[in-house]
Chain A
Amino acid sequence: MKRLDEIPKKTLFEVPEGYFDQLPGRIQARISEPEPQVAWGRLSLRYAMPLIIAGAVATFLLTNRPEGTPEEVIASIESEQLVAYLGETEINADDILDAVMLESIEVESLELDAIDDLELDEGVFGELEGIVVDSLKN
């Protein structure tokens, strides 16, 4: 039995008993949860990054007792030096994301990735066809 059309169509997978009876209620409960009201919650990464950089440098500078307020000292440091400092630390993207509570991407700004790189053999198509992305926005 080597041809696909010779194989009966059936699923290998099972679900726990009562799963579909309970799922709507679980989804409803999550939808009904209040949005977390955290000051950081609405910051996107692009706003959080400068704050993280400033915070990391402020911590460093405060422990070394520089003259002036932390804000004044940070303002006097070149951005490239701040970035280089972060590069020498163990901070990675996941640490930054964990440190700042981020909202998930608002669905209104959701731009669905088109399935844009269906992998096709050279013999079928020489290159991928262009993809048209349909936005969910009105």
Chain B
Amino acid sequence: MDDVELLAKIRNPETRSYGFNMLVRTYQQKIYWLVRKMVIDHDDADDVTQEVFIKVHKAIDTFREDAQLYTWLYRIATNECLSFIKRKRRRFFLPLADVAGEMTERIEAYEVAPGDEIQKKLQKALLTLPDKQRLVFNLKYYEDMSYGQMALVTGTSEGALKASYHHAVKKIEDFLKND
């Protein structure tokens, strides 16, 4: 079912529940993995992912179909991730470094095959980046999102996004070199 059909099902009161269920099934993995890469912990990712779809359900009638559904969903998801991390930091009175430190410890605890140690190092390197820069990196590196699409998701200029991504790559490579 494409997005046009999904939205038609949702806008019809008789098929709204079915249509929304299909929307969740279509996008749940994309949204979850975007969130998981940001918040690291599965339970946190589960909470945030649910919140994303609940907000989508509340706002779906205001969605303007001149925008892509995928872009709109990602926009809500990225905002929820950043809000979650900010709230976590505020709630526990944790400075930036401690939130990253807590997530780094979770990464360290993961058991990986010997050949995948580099993946742990990469994740630890990512956690040294500011949240928004890490988000930009994830969207580009893991999702292969175009800068144009990313600009619509983040409301930031393509130029700023390109600069942020390339700067992130440099920081990560420096981290890997020195680790």
Contact = CB atoms under 8 A, between A and B. Distances in A.
Interface of A: 1-4, 7, 9-16, 19-20, 23-24, 26-28, 30-31, 106-108, 110, 112-121, 124-125, 128-129, 131-134, 136-138
Contacts of B110: 12-13
Contact of A115 (B42, B50, B120, B132): B132
Contacts of B29: 20
In this complex, the interface size class of chain B, counting residues with CB under 8 Å from chain A, is 35 or more
B145 interface: no
Nearest to A25: B21
A118 B112 contact: no
Given A10-B119, A12-B107, A138-B62, A4 B167 contact: no
Interface of B: 17, 20-21, 24-25, 28-29, 32-33, 36-37, 40, 42, 46, 49-50, 53-55, 57-59, 62-64, 72, 75-76, 78-79, 82-83, 107, 110, 112, 116, 118-120, 122-123, 130, 132-133, 135-136, 141-142, 154-157, 159-161, 163-164, 167, 169, 172-173, 176-177
Given A15-B42, A138-B62, A129 B157 contact: yes
B59 A117 contact: no
Describe B's contact surface by its main secondary structure: helix
A9 B142 contact: yes
Nearest to A108: B62
Select the residue from B29, B49, B58, B155 with max chain A CB neighbours within 10 A.
B155
11 contacts: A1-B118, A13-B36, A26-B50, A30-B50, A110-B55, A114-B155, A115-B154, A118-B130, A120-B160, A138-B62, A138-B64
B97 to A, nearest CB: 15
B141 A9 contact: yes
Given A107-B59, A118-B156, 5 more contacts: A3-B173, A30-B50, A113-B82, A119-B133, A125-B160
